[in-house]
Amino acid sequence: MAEKTLILIKPDAVKVGNTGKILSIYEASGLKIVALRMLVMTRELAAKHYEEHIGKTFYSRLVDFMTSGPLAAAVLEGETAVAKARAVNGATDPLQAEAGTIRKLFAEDKTHNAVHASDSVKNAEREISIFFSEAEIFDI
């Protein structure tokens, strides 16, 4: 059965013009884009999205980065979409990411790592609802 996942193309990748390239990699992997929008994340939205990281040492840096400019949010759909998107992204640290993954191709470092993807079906459902209403997600 097809599942959905949220991906964010982070401000670093949007700023340098890699949004289309990154989306094409997801599509080439067999995932369908069923919702897409650009926005500037507010601190309140960041707190909701990254609630599990509040209080951690890196939280302030993460929020500063994620609110620093426009990002692209998308819902991807496909068989094992959560696992597939995470595999396509590659390791959080681009130095450890496999060749051909988004982070190997486009990330600068562990923080400026181009993309985010939900880490479970449950979190995908939660994260999708933060960024999209049901009316914004299409059955393609």
Residue stretches of the annotated binding site for ATP: 10, 58, 86, 92, 103, 113
Q: Say if CB 124 and CB 4 are below 8 A apart.
A: yes
Spatial distance between the Cα atoms of 60 and 131, rounded to a whole number of angstroms: 21
Give the Cα separation of 36 and 16 in Å (integer).
19
Per the annotation, binding residues are 10, 58, 86, 92, 103, 113
CA angle, residues 112, 116, 120, in degrees to nearest 5: 145
> Considering only CA atoms, which of 89, 94, 90 is closest in space to residue 107?
94
Vertex 72: Cα angle to 42 and 49 (nearest 5):
45
Which amino acids are annotated catalytic? 116
